Amino acid sequence: MFIPNLLSTESGSERVVKARIIVVEDEPDLREAVAEYLGASGYDVTVAENATAARALFETQSFHLAMLDIAMPGEDGLSLGRWLRSKTQIGIIYATAAGTALDRIVGLELGADDYIVKPYELREVLARVRSVLRRVPQATEPRAAKAATSDRRFMNFGGFQADFDGRLVTGANGAVIDMAKSEFDVLEVFLTRANRLLTRAAISEAIGFIEDPESSRAVDIRIMRLRKKIEADPANPKFLRTVRGEGYIFSLPTSDSN
């Protein structure tokens, strides 16, 4: 599978970046409408009518974001998204039918970055695509090359170290902690605002998550997943504490930060 790095072309001293998006949707009219709209908005868009076709494309092409319909014949979007998340840090947006809150919750638990409810407006699709792509790493150089730069940003907390530029977390033994992009987004918000009370709305705004009635639940799910990876006892967190009725606070001694 190709690893998605944002493509770039040089124009004088400026770098022009064009994100590649794949739309996996079994409804032909909707699939083409989304592709045409996103293409007109400046993105490089590829379409697939089902998960089988999408898997074939992923083996030969790289993408930065996938928009996956959940309810497709054959392999559904959740299964395809689970496979994608095991392979790469591609941005994932699920499309789900109205009223199926369970699908949205499951999708977020599997590491999706956002979801959109059918029927949707194309303007909303574009807004959510832009929001997710802002959080997709846009460096074109390999991670190892970036590590050599002197201005790389790190922050320690407990026995962990967060690499903001490489977007990874390592444990006390140097092992990389397996962390979805959406989980790292939330962690970065907390680390850069340590010891401050943050409401769910403030967290959503900081990660570029579009507010809707399910946003609070989406934030809670990301925090729940994050606790399982950085807390010795997720039920009694040391770092990421709940302030009942108000939000969350990331407790961090000032001596821990670099």
CATH of the domain at 48: 3.40.50.2300
CATH number at residue 190: 1.10.10.10
pTM: 0.56
Q: Where are the alpha helices (DSSP H) in 95-236?
A: 101-109, 122-133, 143-147, 181-191, 200-206, 215-230
CA-to-CA separations, 24 to 31, 167, 237, in angstroms, rounded: 7, 27, 38
Q: Note whether 198 and 110 are same-domain residues.
A: no
The answer to the question of residue 123 being in a domain is yes
Flag whether pLDDT at 118 surpasses 90.
Answer: no
pLDDT at position 52 is 95
* 91 located within any domain: yes
Q: What is the C-alpha to C-alpha distance for residues 258 and 222, in angstroms, rounded to an integer?
A: 25
Cβ–Cβ contacts within 10 Å for residue 16, how many? 10
Helices 77-87 and 51-60, axial angle in degrees (round to 10): 20
> Cα Rg for the chain, rounded, in angstroms?
19
In this structure, the answer to whether residues 116 and 157 fall within a common structural domain is no
Tens digits of residue pLDDT in 52-69: 999 999 988 889 999 999
Q: Are residues 119 and 200 both part of a single domain? A: no
The count of domains in the chain is 2
Distance of alpha carbon 165 from alpha carbon 193, whole angstroms = 17
Residue 64: inside a domain: yes
Q: Which of 106, 133, 160 is the last residue of a domain?
A: 133
| Position 143 in a domain | no
Q: Give the residue from 78, 104, 133 where a domain finishes.
A: 133
Do residue 72 and residue 182 come from a single domain?
no
Whether residue 8 is predicted with pLDDT greater than 60 in this model: the reply is no
Domain boundary among 79, 104, 133: 133
The 10s digit of each residue's pLDDT in 152-172 is: 688 889 889 998 877 889 987
Domain match, 46 and 127 both: yes
**Judgement on whether residues 17 and 118 belong to the same structural domain of the protein:** yes
23 forms beta bridges with 47, 67
Task: Judge if 166 and 214 occupy the same domain.
Answer: yes
Which amino acid makes up residue 223? I
* Residue-number span of the structural domain to which 23 is assigned: 7-133
Residue 150: count of CB within 10 angstroms of its CB: 4
Judge residue 71's burial from the number of C-beta atoms within 10 Å of its C-beta, 0-12 exposed, 13-18 middle, 19 or more buried.
middle
List the Cα angle 121/123/125 in 5-degree steps. Answer: 75
Say whether both 90 and 60 belong to one domain: yes
